[in-house]
Amino acid sequence: MKIYVEYYGILEQVCGTRAELLHDADIVTVDDAIDCLVRSHAGLVAHRGHMAYAVGEELISESTRLTDGCVLALLPPVSGG
């Protein structure tokens, strides 16, 4: 499966890129994609429990099934006042 990943905010700095392509037959869910990304971007481990995920304009959970060719956005936590 091919998944396009976009990084926002601090996650772009952690991964050293704005976007990348994941190509892995074992990716089924967001959780699978994050497992794959953590292997190449160890700094994501510290953010894993605090990130939000989106496909299109919809926020999704780690258990959401991904489709081939989708764009997965990784969003950092946002604080406000």
Beta strands of the chain (E only): which ranges? Answer: 2-7, 19-23, 52-55, 58-60, 71-75
Distance CA 76, CA 29 (A): 19
Counting beta carbons within 10 angstroms of the beta carbon of residue 54, is it exposed (0 to 12), middle (13 to 18) or buried (19 or more)? middle
Helix, strand, coil fractions of the chain, as percent rounded to 5 = 30, 30, 35
Summarize pLDDT for 20-39 with one digit per residue, the tens: 999 999 999 999 999 999 99
Q: With a cut of 80, say whether residue 79 has pLDDT above it.
A: no
pLDDT band for position 62 (cuts 50, 70, 90): very high
Q: With a cut of 90, say whether residue 81 has pLDDT above it.
A: no
